[in-house]
């Protein structure tokens, strides 16, 4: 008996590591060689490819395919129908499996519905990617990015609230009761 839940329609290949408390829902496919941490939730019609690593408490909404080369650290949120890529210049008639680019999504980051993440970049810790954004370059920790191509429009707290920094580089998040600092374009907790 496993320590995780899989809906009867889910396909779980051999040689996967799936953490305790994880839930895998309707019509999902978990492929051989992937690692899924404890207490993850994978919605319906999710594909997790070989070599993918998901940390603890990762939430993957419906219709997301996580391709080889992607790593998501703990507490990452992947919104409905968001898209990862793993090859820069795909062609159906050219095999490029040895050219996969790595993409890493750092702890606590959230990627909005219908966003596209072009491979070979890093999404910083606690960054918030707006719905429908197309990410073509690395996103700093705590950044709020939107649009196509995505551009940074502000900063957010660890819980996803917009931060407004004073001239001295300080911000206070009322909802969290937490201070933040902005120094040389980098945000950290005060």
Q: What is the pLDDT of residues 121-174, one digit of tens each?
A: 999 999 999 999 999 999 999 999 999 999 999 999 999 999 999 999 999 999
> For residue 2, is pLDDT > 90?
no
> For residue 120, is pLDDT > 60?
yes
Pairing of strands 122-123, 65-66: unpaired
Average pLDDT of 183-189? 96
CATH number of 5-159: 2.160.10.10
Q: Could you give the CA distance from residue 127 to residue 144 in angstroms, rounded to a whole number?
A: 6
**Per-residue pLDDT band at 92 (split at 50, 70, 90):** very high
Nearest to 156 by CA among 117, 124, 120, 116: 124
Average pLDDT of 101-108? 98
Three-class DSSP labels, 161-185: CEECCCCCCEEEECCCCEEEEEECC
Q: What is the mean pLDDT of the chain?
A: 97
Nearest to 108 by CA among 121, 119, 123: 123
Nearest to 3 by CA among 39, 27, 33: 39
Beta bridge partners of 12: 30
Beta bridge partners of 3: none
Q: Where are the domains of the chain?
A: 5-159
What pLDDT does 157 receive?
A: 98
What pLDDT does 137 receive?
A: 98
Average pLDDT of 76-87? 98
> For residue 1, is pLDDT > 70?
no
Work out the percent of the chain whose per-residue pLDDT is above 70: 99
């Amino acid at each position: 008996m496993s320590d995780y839940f899989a809906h009867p329609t889910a396909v779980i290949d051999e040689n996967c590591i799936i953490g305790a408390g994880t839930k895998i829902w309707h019509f999902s496919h978990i492929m051989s060689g992937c690692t899924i941490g404890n207490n993850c939730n994978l919605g319906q019609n999710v594909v997790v490819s070989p070599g993918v690593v998901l940390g603890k408490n990762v939430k993957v909404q419906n219709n997301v395919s996580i391709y080889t080369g992607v790593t998501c650290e703990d507490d990452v949120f992947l919104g409905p129908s968001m898209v990862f890529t793993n090859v820069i210049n795909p062609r159906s008639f050219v095999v490029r499996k040895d050219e996969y680019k790595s993409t890493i999504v750092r702890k606590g980051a959230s990627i909005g519905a219908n966003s596209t993440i072009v491979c070979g970049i890093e999404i910083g810790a606690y960054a918030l990617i707006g719905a429908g954004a197309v990410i073509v370059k690395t996103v700093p920790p705590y950044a709020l990015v939107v649009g196509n191509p995505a551009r940074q429009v502000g900063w957010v707290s660890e819980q996803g609230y917009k931060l407004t920094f004073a001239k001295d580089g300080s911000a206070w998040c009322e909802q969290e009761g937490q201070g933040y600092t902005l120094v040389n374009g980098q945000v950290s907790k005060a």
